[in-house]
Amino acid sequence: MWEDTDLLETPTIWETVRHPPPSAWHIKAGATVKRRQFIEDHFGFYSVWRPEVWSSCRSVAQADLCPLLHKGLDAREIGDVYFQYQVDFLTWYDYVKVMDLDDGTEDFEHGWPWGDNDEIDPSDMSDGISKEYKAWREANGHPVSEPKQKEKASVSPKQAPRVLPPAKGLADSEWAPGNREAVVPELDWADEVQDAADAKAAKPEPVKRDHKLKASALSFSPAGPSSKDSQKPVVATPLAQTQASPKPAPRPAPQRQVAKPPSRAGSSSTAAGPTATTSQAPPQGKPTGWKKGAQQKGPQKTAPQPAPQGQVAKPPSSAAGPGARTSHGSTQGKPGNNNKGAKKVPLRLQQGAGYASIAASGVVQGSKIPVPRDPVVSKETKEKVAEATTALKNFKLSNDAKDKARSEAAQEKAAIEKALKDAFRVRFDAELARIRERNIKVDKEPLPPVWPMDAEFPIRRGFWPSYDVGFAPPRATKLELRQHIWDSLALGKLGGPFPSPFEVVLPPWIDFADLVLGTGSTVLGPVMDQMPREVSITWTRSKDGRPCSLVMGPCPEMNHNMNDKNMLKAVRTVWCHIVEWTAHAWYGRPRRLADFLATQVTLALAMDASPSASILKWARESWVEFVDMQDFPRAKEAKDELIRWVPEIHAILRQPKNHVEPLLNEWVEREGDLDDRLFVVMDTWSVLAPIHAFKWNLEFEKRRLDKKLAEKKLAQKEQI
């Protein structure tokens, strides 16, 4: 019987590669909606997503985050993008701890997928400020930033052009303020920005319109402006921008006046503009003019001159000539051009042009208001963000209470496993001693053992009914699709053990965690490995979280052809196997679903057979017998017998192959219920060699039947 050892290991009939887990490589860290959808998909893929647990962890994380941000950043306002990211970051690690998902290995699949949490800028106001953080500050008596009031500008819609007092030493300039007849041109910052761009290249380039906000050092100042200030109307000069009210009123359209075009190539491109209209008159003093430059055909850069007290120097202009056309459509230096067709340049570029004309000191002469040279994050702000990031990392790692409880649970689990291994070893050694005393002799030379002597012992814990397994089930196939396949296969009427198509009821006391879920890193992983790719399995739960039934059908994550015969055959085959396993579970047989499916698949491949529909009829009959499902003591007794007998069976299976059958025959008939001991032998041996176990079982049942027939005939003779 043992010569066909090549059939010992037979590959499964179906491909067992599952779809890969969801990936976050294409999701930006700051995309709140997509990030949270990935979180749900990630934990749902491993069947460990519980929204109520996540919500509870999130509430705790949010309550802990607000004081951390207040202490680390000391900011009155925090961007909602940054706040929501940090809340999800803390909630993720709390959720992993609560669900006990960290296995301590290097290839831990539940790590935060976006790396360090300093990728988000706290001043990112693209989604507004964090209302949660603001509410926390108000509740704890901390100041918050208030919206600033708009002020009405008292500027006449028709205001006469201003003239400046005479200036000394600037008579050589046609546009010098000493010329009383000259009209002060309006400081059109859009043209000045283009002039600066034209000075860099002879060929004009289009203005880059980058509307993305940059973090500013003023974002974390106690009196810093709000992100909404970026929408303020433009004023004529940076000096008026800084000295006027926080939200100046928009400038009315003044009457355009034609000025004499400049005679030199290096004149300012704003010479044809209107007069500047501001709510304040410029301070008296000696203004700064531009020196004459040599006339050149190509572009010429002019270095800015420092401005005297109370005045602002104009930025360097292009030497392209009065007729040069800018990229935004305005003709520079052309008389009568009022720039009606010109496009507005973003406010950030206009402010940048104004800041570029400030002296190197960074402070407007005659004013105490500092003006930043470049609107970027300051060094102090970066240090605060780094400190807050470090505090958040330390916070998630220093949760002593949870770590202590987790450590105690791990120690308790290790102690239970050690006790089970010690008990297993005692019974294993006792059976080995009994086998040596028996000293079985066979005609042939001893063959290698069925199970290697150095193989790890299969430890099974005691009976533990899973009223709430703590895991959310995978997504089930739609009822309409299952109903269509059920009708196509003509599987009979629903009802009894089958409440819906391809759904079978479980006993309420079933050890679901041990028999169905398994101990792998992926929930239902061992079961899914024994099923075709196009078929999936899940379960339903009651209100208290207890598993109620198993549901199978076409995989909901794949597209299916309802006329595909291979798919229909796979669904029917797996359904019959699940029904057969469930019927044995009603009797309390503690056989794991993954082991049962592996055995059935191997036997079907070796014998070229498929399950019969009579299994469904047998299941309905068994359901009538166990309709109350009150056989809880029988299930616990069967699990205890399994734990007690498996060490003895392993001692026999680790003997030479030609010694195994006589030893097993003797062991089954030694004591106890014969059927129960036969089931344990089959469930244990079929994990390694299902074909050999099946053949041995057929021969044993044949001898058993022959023995019963012989006893019956003997009894009839005695009666005669």
pLDDT at 551 over 90: yes
The one-letter amino acid code at 430 reads A
Per-residue pLDDT at 390: 65
pLDDT at 503 over 90: yes
Q: What gap in Å lies between CA 235 and CA 453, rounded to an integer?
A: 89
Q: Please, are residues 599 and 592 in contact by the beta-carbon 8 Å criterion?
A: no
Q: Please, are residues 216 and 377 in contact by the beta-carbon 8 Å criterion?
A: yes
Domain-located, residue 88: yes
Per-residue pLDDT at 121: 80
Domain-located, residue 243: yes
Residues 617 and 492 in one domain: yes
Residue 449: Cβ within 10 Å count: 16
Give the residue from 130, 120, 128 showing the smallest Cα distance to 75.
130
Q: What is the dihedral of CA 180, 181, 182, 186, to 10 degrees?
A: 100
Give the residue from 260, 253, 254, 280 showing the smallest Cα distance to 183.
260
Domain-located, residue 539: yes
Domain-located, residue 339: yes
Q: Please, are residues 219 and 122 in contact by the beta-carbon 8 Å criterion?
A: yes
Residues 124 and 230 in one domain: no
Tokens matching residue 595:
């082991």
Block residue for tokens 């306002």: 77
Mean pLDDT of 208-234: 39
* pLDDT tens digit sequence for 453-488: 667 778 887 777 766 666 778 888 889 889 999 988
Mean pLDDT of 365-377: 44
State the pLDDT confidence band at 369, using cuts at 50, 70 and 90. Answer: very low
Residues 514 and 576 in one domain: yes
Domain-located, residue 19: no
Q: What gap in Å lies between CA 451 and CA 449, rounded to an integer?
A: 5
Q: What is the dihedral of CA 502, 508, 509, 515, to 10 degrees?
A: 20
Give the residue from 682, 577, 464 showing the smallest Cα distance to 13.
577
Residues 530 and 618 in one domain: yes
Mean pLDDT of 682-705: 85
The residue that leads in pLDDT, 278 or 122, is 122
pLDDT at 679 over 80: yes
Residue 541 bridge partners (DSSP): 547
The count of residues in the chain is 720
Mean pLDDT of 311-333: 43
* pLDDT tens digit sequence for 25-37: 778 888 888 888 8
Residues 229 and 109 in one domain: no
Q: What gap in Å lies between CA 619 and CA 242, rounded to an integer?
A: 85
Tokens matching residue 135:
């509410």
Q: Of the segments 141-150, 220-229, 667-676, which one has the largest average pLDDT value?
A: 667-676
Which range, of 270-274, 582-586, 593-597, 659-663, averages the lowest pLDDT?
A: 270-274
Residues 196 and 128 in one domain: no
DSSP state letters, 241-303: HHHS-SSPPPPP-PPP---PPPSSTT--TTTTS-----SSPPPPS-----------SS----P
Residues 80 and 195 in one domain: no
pLDDT at 281 over 70: no
Residues 567 and 656 in one domain: yes
Block residue for tokens 């360097």: 316
Q: What gap in Å lies between CA 371 and CA 356, rounded to an integer?
A: 10
Domain-located, residue 220: yes
Residue 524, phi-psi category: left (phi > 0), alpha (psi -120 to 50), beta (remainder): left
Residue 437: Cβ within 10 Å count: 7
Q: What gap in Å lies between CA 474 and CA 250, rounded to an integer?
A: 59
The residue that leads in pLDDT, 58 or 241, is 58
How close are the terminal C-alpha atoms of the chain, in Å? 41
Residues 141 and 186 in one domain: no
Which range, of 355-359, 649-653, 690-694, averages the lowest pLDDT?
A: 355-359
Q: Please, are residues 698 and 470 in contact by the beta-carbon 8 Å criterion?
A: no
Per-residue pLDDT at 550: 93
Question: What domain range is 190 assigned to?
Answer: 182-203+211-248+314-380
Q: Of the segments 192-201, 274-283, 510-519, which one has the largest average pLDDT value?
A: 510-519
pLDDT at 548 over 80: yes
pLDDT at 234 over 90: no
The residue that leads in pLDDT, 540 or 395, is 540
Mean pLDDT of 215-232: 39
Q: What gap in Å lies between CA 251 and CA 236, rounded to an integer?
A: 8
b/e per residue 606-620 (b: at least 16 CB within 10 A): eeeeebeeebbeebb
End position of a domain, from candidates 322, 345, 380: 380
Tokens matching residue 39:
């979180």
Give the residue from 70, 97, 123 showing the smallest Cα distance to 392.
70
3-state helix, strand, coil in the chain (%, to 5): 45, 5, 55
* pLDDT tens digit sequence for 165-213: 444 443 444 444 444 444 444 444 445 445 555 554 444 444 343 433 3
Mean pLDDT of 408-419: 80
Q: In the chain, pLDDT over 90 holds for what percent of residues?
A: 3
pLDDT at 392 over 80: no
State the pLDDT confidence band at 522, using cuts at 50, 70 and 90. Answer: low
Per-residue pLDDT at 472: 74
Residues 238 and 341 in one domain: yes
End position of a domain, from candidates 355, 380, 405: 380
Block residue for tokens 């491993």: 46
**pTM of the entire predicted model:** 0.47
Domain-located, residue 544: yes
Q: How many structural domains does the chain have? A: 3
Q: What gap in Å lies between CA 296 and CA 628, rounded to an integer?
A: 103
Q: Please, are residues 667 and 652 in contact by the beta-carbon 8 Å criterion?
A: yes
Q: What angle do CA 503, 508, 511 make, to 5 degrees?
A: 95
Domain-located, residue 516: yes
Residue 370 bridge partners (DSSP): 363
Residues 137 and 229 in one domain: no
Q: In the chain, pLDDT over 70 holds for what percent of residues?
A: 54
Q: Of the segments 331-345, 362-376, 549-563, which one has the largest average pLDDT value?
A: 549-563
State the pLDDT confidence band at 248, using cuts at 50, 70 and 90. Answer: very low
Mean pLDDT of 321-344: 43
Mean of the per-residue pLDDT values for the chain?
67
Q: Of the segments 184-193, 256-265, 447-456, which one has the largest average pLDDT value?
A: 447-456
421: CB partners within 8 A, 6+ apart: 457, 459
End position of a domain, from candidates 336, 359, 380: 380
Tokens matching residue 256:
């355009």
The one-letter amino acid code at 535 reads V
Residues 136 and 187 in one domain: no
pLDDT at 360 over 80: no
Which range, of 65-79, 161-175, 432-446, 559-573, averages the lowest pLDDT?
A: 161-175
The residue that leads in pLDDT, 345 or 67, is 67
pLDDT at 109 over 90: no
Q: What gap in Å lies between CA 474 and CA 492, rounded to an integer?
A: 27
SS3 assignment, position 388 = helix
State the pLDDT confidence band at 715, using cuts at 50, 70 and 90. Answer: confident
pLDDT at 579 over 60: yes
Per-residue pLDDT at 627: 56
Mean pLDDT of 416-443: 81
Burial class (CB in 10 A: 0-12, 13-18, 19+), 702: exposed
